[in-house]
A and B are shown apart, each in its own frame.
Chain A
Amino acid sequence: MFGYLCKRIVYIAFTVAVMSVLVFWITQVLPGNVAHTILGDFAKPEDVAMLEHKLGLDQPVHTQYLRWAGSLLRGDLGQSLVMNRPVASVLWDAVGRSAMLAALSFAMVTVFGIWLGIAAGIRHGRWTDRIISTATYVKLSVPEFFWAILLLMLFSGYLGWLPATGYSSPDEGIAQWLRHLVLPSVTLALGLIAHVSRLTRSSVIDVMQSPYIRAARARGVPEGRLVRRHALRNALLPTVTVLAIDIGVLMGGVVVAETIFSYPGLGRLLIQSIQQADIPMVQAAMMVVTFVYAAANLLADVLYAFLNPRIRYGGAAGH
């Protein structure tokens, strides 16, 4: 297991390194000129050149990359070009707020996704199954932003129960904090609930039709125990791994929800920074997303290996 873990970590580190080159390259070709962004439309060419020199933008690209990657490894994220403050302070605040949102969504996805999946799976082909399956189809085929706007109109516009937008920090009151989180986190969770429940349903159906379950049923094992003792453990194996991967998906999915609900998290910060050509901020935010994705995948691999011994000893076949 330890050897396997090391292998995965090396692989992930390599992925992050490749991504860092990509992120750097993408921000190089983004339209917009940093010096112009700072100095305004009609900056004199000599002023632009001076500032570019000061920012090291006149160096060859590989030198710039190495310097950037070096300071990244030292934990120095640089200075935002637009906000006149360090990238780190703004970024970690936003990451923290997105993490709250993602955590709440994750809890919903886990509970409702698995619950709906099992409910449909053990009633395969009956009304409950049909209703849940149709609902998940509808949820999956309609884009996130549509649900967001629907929720917004209903709960905030029409009923007036929940705030339409924004954020309230936990120290301003837990209820107030949660009220601001409900709509964006539900939006974020809907698509993934559908995804997780469909997966759970199909693996429950598979397992329930497997020979060992049929044998157990023939032996007269009660249905309840059959599901609890024999089926679920195996049926939930793929679900657990998908949930781990979904942590990364959630971090990427915050963009839409945060933009619609004006929630000041990482996704919205990334969009705003791209619009304003705030390169250091864009780079740092993209690296955070990359890292979360990579870590979520690592977690999924490790969990799967832990739950399914055949994977981790795959190399030891023949013993």
Chain B
Amino acid sequence: MTKTTTKAFSPAAAVRYLLPAWVAATVWLGAPGTALAARDDVVATINSNVNNFYPAAGTTGEDYNAGNLMFNGLVRITQDLKLEPELATAWKSNADASEWTFQLRRGVKFHNGADFTAADVVHTFKLLGDPALASRARSTADMIKTIETPDDYTVKFVLKEPYGAWPDMMIERQLKIVPASVPLAELRVKPVGTGPFMFDSYTPGDKLVLKKNPNYWEKGLPKLARVTLRIMPEDAAKIAALSSGDVDILWNVPLESLQEIKAKRAITVDSIPAGTWDGFVLNNQAKPFDDVRVRQAMLKAIDKRVLVQVALFGEGAPTHTPIPANHPYFARNIGFAPDVAGAKRLLAAAGYPNGFKITLSVPVGRPTRERAAVALQQMLKNVGITVALERVPYSRWGATIAGKAPFYMDGYLPRPTPDTATYPWYHSTGSWNQQMWHFSSPRIDQTLEAARRTPDPAQQRDLYIRFQEEALQEVPGVVMYSINFATAFRANLQGFHTHPYTWLDLRTAYFP
């Protein structure tokens, strides 16, 4: 009795009490609760919260992922970048591409049981055009003069100006069809679409859970009963979770971790070219970039192939403009060899025989751009340009740098058509151009306008190749490369591939 107290604190007691407790806990907690039956659910990671369930308000990859799983557009884009009917079954235009008529799919139901008809399409575009809702795709709605609905399953868009790539526009992330039967306020908290999966629950900071839509219009799809999108910003945690089997799909694999993940057993890594690009912005109205020779010298000084190796670990491809290297309209006849001597000559001609000093602003927390900036600093040093790097937190980026600093590094997401990928950046009236490099070239304006008007693909291709040549002569700014997009997933997950548009397409995914 008297000895018990001191005994209770002896090393022997530790073993005596702790060992059984440890064993019990291990038996109870340690056995993962995985059933032997075939799994019918999948867990994927996303990097941040889904902040907008109303697709037109979407601004991030997370928003688009949720939108793509729960909603459909009129048209969708396949793995190999071809258009495919989705809620529309067919479409045609008049001779000058100013009127587009879409036949709608019959027998499609929204998650709330309402029938999908032309009224929902009209409702969707009406919301999209409302300035108060401030959708990033509002410019698309602004192209429409009127929408006519001859019957419940026909929609005719009458455009303000001819536009050859109107069907391509319909794949835009924000242009998902929302039901007229659900008020917008409700849709923002409990989304209702026609897509393969339905909303189940959402915990900000933790996960979004979706369940199978039993009335989905594609026969036999989706194959999964449940999809969980886990919100995991931390790269190390994501990779650990994939290795340990907590998650099945790692969406948007950080490029610096690709090699590490590729080495793991039972994990498939699928890295494919995507249209996302990084570039550096030169303000064409500010010295020294108001002189085209300085801009040309910057372009000649850099080796984009080296930038791809340094910034992307080779997971990408150099490109001339936002048209990526795997696109049929890419100008393959132009090389990427740098020309240091030529760059120096141009600088001397422009009045900078000894180069100049300049500050380059780089966003913090965007690793590809941070690495590219360091490499760029070295490359420009070779032609006499001394670059001071200024790292700016992303929370301050919009207010102080984007569209304001004379020289900064930034990156942009893919756009659905060559027109939408180039016009806003290179046309003198383009929205991004007016914010970024303030550039104006009558011949590039003409080329882009002609390309946008023609419905003939062969002619379109010639015009876009000419545009790329012109862009490299006038250098409004420099697009360095397009970045691959990668997902990593369990090797036994069937029917899933990385989509070049980066969203998760889980319609055909299943575990055998």
Which A residues from 69 to 99 make CB contacts under 8 A with B? Answer: 82-85, 90, 93-94
Asked whether A318 is an interface residue with its Cβ less than 8 Å from the other chain, the reply is no
Which A residues from 33 to 81 make CB contacts under 8 A with B? Answer: 33, 36-37, 39-43
Asked whether, in the complex, the Cβ of A272 is within 8 Å of the Cβ of B403, the reply is: no
Asked whether B236 is an interface residue with its Cβ less than 8 Å from the other chain, the reply is yes
Of B59, B136, B230, B435, the most chain A CB neighbours within 10 A belong to: B230
Asked whether, in the complex, the Cβ of B243 is within 8 Å of the Cβ of A157, the reply is: yes
With A223-B2, A268-B205 known to touch, is A259 a contact of B246 (CB < 8 Å)? no
The interface on chain A, measured as residues whose beta carbon lies within 8 A of the other chain's beta carbons, has a size of 60
With A31-B393, A166-B241 known to touch, is A94 a contact of B205 (CB < 8 Å)? yes
Interface readout for B1-35 with A: 1 if CB under 8 Å, 0 if not? 11111100111001000000000001011101100
With A40-B398, A83-B204 known to touch, is A157 a contact of B240 (CB < 8 Å)? yes
Shortest B49–chain A CB gap in Å is: 6
Shortest B394–chain A CB gap in Å is: 8
Asked whether, in the complex, the Cβ of A84 is within 8 Å of the Cβ of B237, the reply is: no
Asked whether, in the complex, the Cβ of A118 is within 8 Å of the Cβ of B9, the reply is: yes
Which A residues from 158 to 198 make CB contacts under 8 A with B? Answer: 160-167, 173, 175-176, 178-179, 182
With A161-B26, A179-B29, A259-B234 known to touch, is A167 a contact of B206 (CB < 8 Å)? yes
| Complex contacts, A93 vs chain B, CB 8 Å | 203-204
> Of A36, A41, A157, A224, which one neighbours B6 at CB under 8 angstroms?
A224
Asked whether, in the complex, the Cβ of B402 is within 8 Å of the Cβ of A42, the reply is: yes
> With the chains together, A7 CA to B6 CA distance in Å?
41
> Of A40, A83, A173, A223, which one neighbours B51 at CB under 8 angstroms?
A83
| Complex contacts, A122 vs chain B, CB 8 Å | 6, 9
The residue on B at minimum CB distance from A265 is: B205
| Complex contacts, A166 vs chain B, CB 8 Å | 206-207, 230, 232, 241, 246
Asked whether B396 is an interface residue with its Cβ less than 8 Å from the other chain, the reply is yes
> With the chains together, A183 CA to B402 CA distance in Å?
41
> Of A85, A152, A272, A276, which one neighbours B240 at CB under 8 angstroms?
A152
Asked whether, in the complex, the Cβ of A272 is within 8 Å of the Cβ of B205, the reply is: yes
Asked whether, in the complex, the Cβ of B244 is within 8 Å of the Cβ of A157, the reply is: yes
Shortest A90–chain B CB gap in Å is: 5
> With the chains together, A175 CA to B29 CA distance in Å?
6
Asked whether B52 is an interface residue with its Cβ less than 8 Å from the other chain, the reply is yes
Of B3, B11, B33, B237, the most chain A CB neighbours within 10 A belong to: B237
With A227-B6, A264-B231 known to touch, is A160 a contact of B244 (CB < 8 Å)? yes
> With the chains together, A167 CA to B397 CA distance in Å?
33
> With the chains together, A39 CA to B132 CA distance in Å?
12
The residue on B at minimum CB distance from A118 is: B9
> With the chains together, A259 CA to B240 CA distance in Å?
13
The interface on chain B, measured as residues whose beta carbon lies within 8 A of the other chain's beta carbons, has a size of 57
> Of B14, B205, B236, B402, which one neighbours A41 at CB under 8 angstroms?
B402
Shortest B260–chain A CB gap in Å is: 12
Shortest B252–chain A CB gap in Å is: 15
> Of B1, B3, B49, B246, which one neighbours A83 at CB under 8 angstroms?
B49
> Of B1, B32, B51, B399, which one neighbours A32 at CB under 8 angstroms?
B399
The residue on A at minimum CB distance from B17 is: A115
Asked whether A225 is an interface residue with its Cβ less than 8 Å from the other chain, the reply is yes
Asked whether, in the complex, the Cβ of A262 is within 8 Å of the Cβ of B237, the reply is: yes
Shortest A278–chain B CB gap in Å is: 10
Shortest B17–chain A CB gap in Å is: 9
Shortest A55–chain B CB gap in Å is: 15
> With the chains together, A178 CA to B234 CA distance in Å?
22
| Complex contacts, A149 vs chain B, CB 8 Å | 236
> With the chains together, A137 CA to B435 CA distance in Å?
57
Asked whether, in the complex, the Cβ of A264 is within 8 Å of the Cβ of B203, the reply is: yes
The residue on A at minimum CB distance from B240 is: A164
Shortest A260–chain B CB gap in Å is: 6
Asked whether, in the complex, the Cβ of B234 is within 8 Å of the Cβ of A260, the reply is: yes
Asked whether, in the complex, the Cβ of A224 is within 8 Å of the Cβ of B4, the reply is: yes
Asked whether B188 is an interface residue with its Cβ less than 8 Å from the other chain, the reply is yes
Asked whether A119 is an interface residue with its Cβ less than 8 Å from the other chain, the reply is yes
Asked whether A275 is an interface residue with its Cβ less than 8 Å from the other chain, the reply is yes
| Complex contacts, A85 vs chain B, CB 8 Å | 189, 204
The residue on B at minimum CB distance from A93 is: B203
> With the chains together, A31 CA to B395 CA distance in Å?
6
Asked whether A269 is an interface residue with its Cβ less than 8 Å from the other chain, the reply is yes
> With the chains together, A127 CA to B208 CA distance in Å?
52
Asked whether A128 is an interface residue with its Cβ less than 8 Å from the other chain, the reply is yes
Asked whether, in the complex, the Cβ of A36 is within 8 Å of the Cβ of B240, the reply is: no
| Complex contacts, B28 vs chain A, CB 8 Å | 175
Chain A interface (Cβ < 8 Å from any Cβ of B): 30-33, 36-37, 39-43, 82-85, 90, 93-94, 115, 118-119, 122-123, 128, 149, 152-153, 156-157, 160-167, 173, 175-176, 178-179, 182, 222-225, 227-228, 259-262, 264, 268-269, 272, 275-277
Listed from nearest, the 3 A-B pairs whose CB atoms lie closest are A32-B395, A222-B2, A264-B206
17 of the cross-chain contacts (CB-CB < 8 Å) are A30-B395, A37-B395, A41-B398, A41-B402, A42-B402, A83-B49, A156-B246, A157-B243, A160-B245, A166-B246, A224-B6, A225-B5, A228-B5, A262-B230, A262-B237, A264-B204, A272-B205
Further contacts, 4 of them, CB under 8 A, given A85-B204, A262-B232 = A41-B397, A153-B240, A157-B243, A225-B5
